[in-house]
Each structure stands twice: as structure tokens, then as C-alpha cells.
């Protein structure tokens, strides 16, 4: 059974700081990794995808993947109060499967 | 502005009643997913379709849940009979099988079974 583990938080960071969100997974066959942001009472929104080891940057967001250690992280630079949300880590196994497995999410609070 | 739509947005019903939730995927998307989200379990995949054909419904309680896609613009999730433990937010998501892992979520149906 695939498992995706995240610290539930809340993770509190001051405005302007770097927020670091981490995720570990059990399935070594996983080939694709995603971060979704979910505001309270809203639906998940895809913000980052990463498929190969290393870093991928998109604006203030950087996703990091280390398949050997089975972890993926999300860094948010210059955190803003609008970044306060729950961040869901998810992974796909590829190989023709359309199924994503989600972690339970880390709640981030950016303090003004 | 292409979005996944879901109806109803909120549903309160009594135990034993039938519940039907509807989803309209983004036009042109050929994969549709049903998820359930609770505080305890997080986001769980219930079933998914590709080109209207069910590919996997192993996440659903078979005795009471059913999912169908009568046409490319409509997916339904039914619960009969409903139970209090079914109370959750049910999300539909759609995607393209060429971008298989990118799923776009609808606003969800918040179901309360009393």
C-alpha cells in the first residue's frame, strides 16, 4: 500500500521567511510528484509538479525531489499571508496508472 | 474559464436516503476522478474513469456506492443507502490522459448524513 507522510503542522512562519514543507513516501515505483494547495473550504489546486531528482523552481516556489531517500519538499520563499493554506503532497506511480495518492497535508500559517 | 463543476455544493440528508452527486468535467478532458476528503482520512480516491470507462473503483464501498459516466460531460456518484460515516466532502477532478497526472478539482459537494 502506498503511503505518503506529511507533518500535519501547523507550521508557522513569519511573513517574508522561507517556509519548508516536507513529504516522504513508501512506493519506490513512484514516478511523479505533486504539491497541491488547499485553502480552507476550497478544493485542492495544483501548484507544482516534479518528475526527476533535483530542484524545480517556479516563481517563489521550489520543489525538491530525492528518489533515493524517498522524499519531496516544497520551499516557499518570501512567504506571504496569502500562502496560508494546507499543502498536500501527492504522487503518481505512472506506468499507465492515473491514480494519485495524497498525503493528509501540512497546514501552513504565515504570520504578518 | 474552464472549470470542473459539481452539484449540489451542499447536501444534508437523513440516514438511509439516496444521495446523487454530479460532476461536469472540463470540456475535452477524458479522465474523471472521484475523491472523498475527511479530517481523519484525508483525500481518498474512490473511483476513476478514462474515456467514460471505469478503470478502478476499488476505493469505493461496493455495497452502497456506485459511479457512472452516462456521457462525456457528466459523471455521477450515488450512495444508497447513505450512512452518517459517509459525511465528507466529495471532490470530482478531471484531466487529460496525455498529461495523466495533472488533475483539476471541482469545488466539491459537502455531504452531511444525520
Q: Residues B14-24: pLDDT tens digits?
A: 999 999 999 99
Mutation target to probe the B interface, by most B beta carbons within 10 A, among A37, A90, A100 is A100
DSSP-derived pairing of the beta strands A32-38 and A85-92: antiparallel
For range A39-51, the mean pLDDT: 94
Residue B101 has pLDDT above 70, yes or no: no
Q: What is the pLDDT of residue B51?
A: 92
Q: Does B59 touch chain A (CB under 8 A)?
A: no
Mean pLDDT of chain A: 92
Whole-Å CA distances, A108 to A40, B36, B91: 11, 22, 22
Binned at pLDDT 50, 70 and 90, residue B99 comes out as low
Q: What is the pLDDT of residue A29?
A: 83
Binned at pLDDT 50, 70 and 90, residue A106 comes out as very high
Cell numbers linked to B43: 483525500
Q: What is the pLDDT of residue A111?
A: 96
Residue B11 has pLDDT above 70, yes or no: yes
Q: What is the pLDDT of residue B56?
A: 84
Q: Is the peptide bond before A55 cis (omega within 30 degrees of 0)?
A: no
Binned at pLDDT 50, 70 and 90, residue B100 comes out as low
Nearest partner of A54 among A67, A42, A43, judged by Cα: A67
State what percent of residues in chain B have pLDDT above 90. Answer: 76
Instruction: Name residue B50's beta-bridge partners.
Output: B31, B53
Whole-Å CA distances, A21 to A50, A86, A111, B17, B88: 15, 10, 16, 41, 26
Nearest partner of A91 among A22, A2, A19, judged by Cα: A2
Q: How many CB pairs under 8 A join A and B?
A: 49
Q: Give the closest-approach CA distance of B77 to chain A in angstroms.
A: 18
Q: Does A50 touch chain B (CB under 8 A)?
A: no
- Considering only CB atoms, B101 lies closest to which of A32, A104, A105, namely A32
Residue A93 has pLDDT above 80, yes or no: no
Return the higher-pLDDT residue of B48 and A74: A74
For range A13-25, the mean pLDDT: 97
Amino acid at each position: 500500500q502506498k503511503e505518503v507522510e506529511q507533518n500535519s503542522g501547523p507550521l508557522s512562519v513569519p511573513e517574508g521567511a522561507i517556509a519548508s514543507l516536507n513529504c516522504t513516501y513508501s512506493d519506490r515505483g513512484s514516478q511523479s510528484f505533486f504539491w497541491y494547495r488547499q485553502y480552507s473550504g476550497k478544493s485542492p489546486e495544483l501548484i507544482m509538479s516534479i518528475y526527476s531528482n533535483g530542484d524545480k523552481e517556479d516563481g517563489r516556489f521550489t520543489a525538491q525531489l530525492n528518489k533515493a531517500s524517498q522524499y519531496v519538499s516544497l520551499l516557499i520563499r518570501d512567504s506571504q499571508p496569502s500562502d496560508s493554506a494546507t499543502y498536500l503532497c501527492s504522487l503518481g506511480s505512472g506506468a499507465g496508472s492515473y491514480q494519485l495518492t495524497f498525503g493528509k497535508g501540512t497546514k501552513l500559517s504565515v504570520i504578518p | 474559464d474552464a472549470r470542473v463543476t459539481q452539484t449540489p455544493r451542499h447536501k444534508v440528508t437523513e440516514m438511509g436516503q439516496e444521495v446523487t452527486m454530479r460532476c461536469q468535467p472540463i470540456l475535452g478532458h477524458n479522465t474523471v476522478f472521484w475523491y472523498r476528503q475527511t479530517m481523519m482520512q484525508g483525500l481518498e480516491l474512490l473511483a476513476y474513469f478514462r474515456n467514460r470507462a471505469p478503470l478502478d473503483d476499488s476505493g469505493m464501498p461496493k455495497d452502497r456506492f456506485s459511479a457512472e459516466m452516462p456521457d462525456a460531460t457528466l459523471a455521477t456518484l450515488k450512495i444508497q443507502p447513505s450512512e452518517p460515516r459517509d459525511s465528507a466532502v466529495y471532490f470530482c477532478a478531471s484531466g487529460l490522459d496525455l498529461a495523466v497526472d495533472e488533475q483539476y478539482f471541482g469545488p466539491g459537494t459537502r455531504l452531511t448524513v444525520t
